[in-house]
Amino acid sequence: MAALLGNCLRTTRVPLDPSPSCALYLAYCNNCSRALSSLFVSSLDKTESPHFAKRKLDCREQCLDSTTQADIGILVAKVRVGNSLDEILQSLAHDQLCNSIQLSPVLVNKLLFQFKDDWKSALGVFRWAESRGYKHTSEAYDTLVDSLGKMKQMDEMTALLEEMQKGQLVTLKTLGKAMRRFSGAGQWENAVRLFDKLGTFGLEKNTESMNLLLDTLCKERKVEQAREIFLELKSHISPNANTFNIFIHGWCKINRVEEAYWTIQEMRGHGFLPCVISYSTIVQFYCRRCDFSKVYELLDEMEALGSTPNVVTYTTVMSALAKSEKYEEALQIAHRMKSVGCKPDTLFYNSLIHSLGRAGRQQEAVHVFEEEMPSTGVSPNASTYNSMIAMLCHHAQELKALKLLKEMETSRICKPDVQTYYPLLKSCFRTGKVDSLLRQLLDDMIKKHNLSLDVSAYTLLIHGLCRANQCEWAYRLFEEMIGKDIMPRYQTCQLLLENVKLKHLYDAAKKIEIVMQKL
């Protein structure tokens, strides 16, 4: 193993060894919330009915959440997008209001999630909390490792891993995130190096950690390299059924389905029976190729072999048919699943709602959402609401979509995410409500729900604003994303450049051209 990894890693090294009025108003609200929280705590100590106590506890939770949201609002307002890491740290450290905020794992984790696409702000907040004597949880470290890796800040991520190593905070989950981010950045060799150094983190090389490495490599299409490593390791680390399922998925991912079938035979040779996951992976392969005759053949074969398709298998097929605009066939799969007694889950209903909407059967989709899901005891998630909102916006029913958004905001099950807003933002451009509704939606996304815009959201907005003759606003968003180290797509730069030149904004044009040269 050492020789193989040495060859793989010879070229790469990872050093793993040794406004004032607004602020005052927010502070006032914050203090009120804290006072109310204390009031609820003391009042719950008294003897009272369980029902009344539950209502007070619910109210207390809302109060504490309100306090956290107010604190987040204060801190986010202090962090300026585009500032350096040191500037962010100093801005927070020298603000009396920020330093009066009581830090907690909930608050810190929410802040890190808020800045998951803005690594400098995330790291700045993290270091500021440390400077106040706050001890970060392993969850906070893991979140930051993932954010730094996602934004391709590999040196910063490596330094954080070294810091975690000294504090004995590194877990297999931590290294799993780091391995995936290294592989995603095209540095799969560093993922292997991390595995090779497991012992220095107090972790062992076993079936679980081996599978984590193999899965990381296979998902990044490095299946042959994963296979070589497996052949070296299997003499002293026993594989399990999941090991072979990882390879079945990997071979299918690189369109080598023959090797996937061969792996099923190898699996049997090691004493493991192929399961529904094994066959469903190959079903997914044929779905991607739109070879639905082969899909139906495999479904029949699974039933004959006793590996009865499950809800995931059926949902995969239904989603693929819908993607191919075979909506009626997709609905037939839903009927087939129900007829064999397979119980639907949330993901199934999400796909069904999407298929019904695309098939022009809106009322049936609404019936599934409002009647069938509650009757079967299946709760909606954010994607369920997102499918409904997308369907309503697609059929120009924005008011109903906005009503669902409000319902989602008050739901205890799920909250809006960036995907929730995509169809609503598109509707603003289609209906021309750029100056009114678009501004309100963006304000709610960032200030009310603490959502950060990703590259897809920025792309949608910049393209839409350019077409709406609002290139000045589009350019401000362009500067904002550059400040967050989110690189725009070349087509976005090209469109924005054409528009700013038409408005004679030559300084902006020069800056866009500089960015384009780096792409």
* pLDDT above 70: residue 285: yes
Residue 311 is predicted with a pLDDT of 97
Structure token pair of residue 519: 């792409």
**C-beta separation of 414 from 386 below 8 A:** no
Give the 3-state DSSP-derived string for 247-303, with helices as H, strands as E and coil as C: HHHHHHHCCCHHHHHHHHHHHHHCCCCCCHHHHHHHHHHHHHCCCHHHHHHHHHHHH
**C-beta separation of 421 from 386 below 8 A:** no
Rounded-to-integer distance, Cα 72 and Cα 29, Å = 12
Residue 41 is predicted with a pLDDT of 36
SS3 assignment, position 169 = coil
* Helix pair 455-467, 418-431: axis angle to 10 deg: 10
Of the pLDDT bands very low, low, confident and very high (cuts 50, 70, 90), residue 76 is confident
Of 39-53, 188-202, 385-399, the range with the lowest mean pLDDT is 39-53
Rounded-to-integer distance, Cα 465 and Cα 502, Å = 14
Rounded-to-integer distance, Cα 224 and Cα 253, Å = 12
**C-beta separation of 151 from 117 below 8 A:** yes
pLDDT tens column, 228-240: 999 999 999 999 9
Domain residues of the chain, as ranges?
68-169, 310-379
Of the pLDDT bands very low, low, confident and very high (cuts 50, 70, 90), residue 82 is low
Residue appearing with tokens 């450290």: 93
**Considering only CA atoms, which of 143, 63, 72, 10 is closest in space to residue 449?**
72
Q: What is the mean pLDDT of residues 332-359?
A: 94
Q: What is the mean pLDDT of residues 284-308?
A: 93
46 secondary structure, DSSP code: S
Residue 6 is predicted with a pLDDT of 53
How many CB atoms neighbour CB 384 within 10 A?
A: 23
* pLDDT above 90: residue 293: yes
Residue 57 is predicted with a pLDDT of 40
Residue 69 is predicted with a pLDDT of 80
Residue 26 is predicted with a pLDDT of 36
Angle at Cα 318 formed by Cα 316 and Cα 320, nearest 5°? 70
Rounded-to-integer distance, Cα 19 and Cα 302, Å = 64
Rounded-to-integer distance, Cα 486 and Cα 483, Å = 7
pLDDT tens column, 200-225: 999 999 999 999 999 999 999 999 99
SS3 assignment, position 416 = coil
Of the pLDDT bands very low, low, confident and very high (cuts 50, 70, 90), residue 42 is very low
How many CB atoms neighbour CB 450 within 10 A?
A: 17
